[in-house]
Chains A and B, each alone.
Chain A
Amino acid sequence: MNAQSEELALEVRNLAVSIKTPHGVVHPVKGVDLTVHKGEIVGIVGESGCGKSTTIKGLLRLLPANSTVTADKAQLAGYGDLLATPVRRMREVRGAKIGFVAQNPFGSLNPIYKIERQFYELQKAHKTRVSRKESREIALRMLDGVGIVNPARVLDGYAHQLSGGMAQRVVIALATTLSPQLLIADEPTTGLDATVQAQILDLISGLVRQEGRSMVLVTHDLGVIAQYCQRVVVMYDGQVVEHGSVMDVMVEPQHPYTQRLIASVPKPGEKLDVSR
């Protein structure tokens, strides 16, 4: 599909997450392997509660303090082992090495800062010397790059003035400002309208292709997997039940769970069969 190399962008082996609760320890992720090559988009798909978001949050060390993340390996190319990094130093990784796009853009944007300031804070947090003027120029360029027609107006406004699709574009611009080589998007278009979803996914996959980046795309939507990913990991109950190229997994699923999942998508041109 596009220029993929054998070079690894991310290699995760046997990632597990356990969370201490008042009712005992739960294990939402039980040994997940994830391999992302340079230039490719890898999808993680599964239903609610399968551990797909927890896997990502575990990797990014965004889980609350009562959780423990372990792995044999969590190697990020051009950086090192993510789990060997102390949590307090992960701030240097997130944003600069890994760009993160969450499901709800309004959760990622500060409601009381103008958008411009959020670009400034991001850059200031990662490199000390950036003037307001430089920061604004960079922000204008980034917003233009994500297809926002009037970037200056968006920069001078607040998050609540944006529609969901516009806000997600702003978050994508923020996530790519420091040119991270890996993007992680957790249900980036869930809750958006279909036409906006197609626009945003076209935008994200374009950013990955143009810049030779890689991406992990977490979704419950098999259409998103089939149309935008090259490889896919299917999760169920905290484990990977099947993985492979999208062509193989989506066209000829091997695992019964994947088969069931694909069978429950209404197919174009097919009438609902009530007898099933």
Chain B
Amino acid sequence: MSLVEIEDVHKVFPARQRGGEPVHALKGVSLHVNEGETLAVIGESGSGKSTLGRVALRLIDVDSGAVRIDGKDLGTMDANTLRRQRADMQLVFQEPFESLNPRMAIGAIVAEPLQIHQPQLGTTEIRRQVLSTLEHVGLPQSFADRLPGELSGGQQQRVGIARAIISRPRFVVLDEPTSSLDLSIRAQILALLAELQREYSMAYLFVSHDMHTVEWVSDRIAVMYLGEIVETKPTRELFDAPEHPYTQTLLSARLSPDPREPHAYKAFAGHRTVRDAVENQEPA
């Protein structure tokens, strides 16, 4: 059953400079995320994938179209209802350190969603839940009193995950959650996310540019290109039989770590980066 529905969403950002072109970030995007599944959105920089992630949580308002969770339209919700709804929908950021207040103790950071969404809880109960959540994401309880700067990148991302899951959301947007991490740490964080998903049956919208990662973690994949979704398919099917020329190009750029499987990059005619499109340059 679909938990989140995005229907024909358009979003245009105004030009940053006078005389510049407005950026059409989303051009009629539709998708749904089923309960408990991982839908990956894959695309290159500027394809609109991060905008889509933010739109799905109504962190950005849409120009037209609808975003629904549980059948309820986020766009028409009043501020109080939306705020209550947010307990159910959370976000994990790409840069763990940038997303943590450097002056707040880890315990206070992880406690914030509870203080907002369950103000009736006492400090002791909040502390108890914070410590158990830290443990759940693989951090020692003693980290509650540390500052983000004292932690490694992988540990910081575990804090980001703890903060996202403590209010027991059913829907989490993961915006490139592992792309700033080293390879071996990346695998650990992905395994943790998969474990938590199974335990709490959360649905993930996994935004990424990395095809290896996406293939590994997702049930279905939506491919974005210049603000549009060009193809959505179950993961295996997409990798076995990519239909859209852009998907084929993207897959041909995958570099296997096994030298016995050579790659053959194939550009498709007219492939343009967003910058090419915006500035009307011919592709290189």
Chain A residues in the interface with B (C-beta under 8 A): 47-48, 147-150, 163, 165-166, 169, 193-199, 202, 220-227, 246-247, 250-251, 260-274, 276
Beyond the given A149-B283, A149-B284, A165-B284, could you list 17 further A-B residue pairs with CB under 8 A, ordered by the A residue number? A150-B281, A163-B273, A195-B267, A196-B44, A197-B255, A220-B183, A221-B255, A223-B257, A226-B257, A226-B258, A227-B259, A227-B263, A261-B183, A265-B257, A266-B215, A268-B239, A269-B215
How far is A125 from B209 in the complex, measured between Cα atoms in Å? 40
Complex contact A265–B183 (CB within 8 A): yes
Complex contact A198–B265 (CB within 8 A): yes
Complex contact A147–B45 (CB within 8 A): no
Least CB distance, B259 to chain A, in whole angstroms: 4
Complex contact B184–A261 (CB within 8 A): yes
Complex contact A272–B190 (CB within 8 A): yes
Chain B residues in the interface with A (C-beta under 8 A): 44-45, 182-184, 186-187, 190-191, 194-195, 198, 209-213, 215-217, 236, 239, 249-250, 252-263, 265, 267, 271, 273, 275-276, 281-284
Q: Which residues of B contact A225 (CB under 8 A)?
A: 257
Q: Which residues of B contact A195 (CB under 8 A)?
A: 44, 249-250, 253, 265, 267, 271
How far is A166 from B209 in the complex, measured between Cα atoms in Å? 19
Across the A-B interface, the 9 shortest Cβ-Cβ residue pairs: A223-B255, A266-B216, A198-B265, A222-B257, A193-B44, A264-B187, A198-B253, A194-B253, A47-B182
Complex contact B258–A271 (CB within 8 A): no
Complex contact A264–B273 (CB within 8 A): no
How far is A264 from B273 in the complex, measured between Cα atoms in Å? 30
**CB closest chain-A residue, reference B195:** A274
Complex contact B263–A198 (CB within 8 A): yes
Count: A-B pairs, CB below 8 Å: 123
**CB closest chain-A residue, reference B219:** A271
Instruction: List 24 A–B pairs whose Cβ atoms lie within 8 Å, in order of A's numbering.
Output: A149-B282, A149-B283, A163-B273, A169-B284, A194-B209, A194-B211, A194-B250, A198-B265, A199-B265, A199-B267, A221-B255, A223-B255, A226-B255, A226-B258, A227-B262, A227-B263, A247-B259, A250-B258, A250-B259, A261-B183, A265-B183, A266-B216, A272-B217, A274-B191
Complex contact A47–B183 (CB within 8 A): yes
How far is A165 from B275 in the complex, measured between Cα atoms in Å? 11
Q: Which residues of A contact B209 (CB under 8 A)?
A: 193-194
Q: Which residues of B contact A149 (CB under 8 A)?
A: 282-284
How far is A267 from B212 in the complex, measured between Cα atoms in Å? 7
Q: Which residues of B contact A276 (CB under 8 A)?
A: 187, 191
Complex contact B216–A271 (CB within 8 A): yes
Least CB distance, A94 to chain B, in whole angstroms: 26
Complex contact B256–A268 (CB within 8 A): yes
Least CB distance, B215 to chain A, in whole angstroms: 6
Q: Which residues of A contact B275 (CB under 8 A)?
A: 163
Q: Which residues of B contact A251 (CB under 8 A)?
A: 258-260
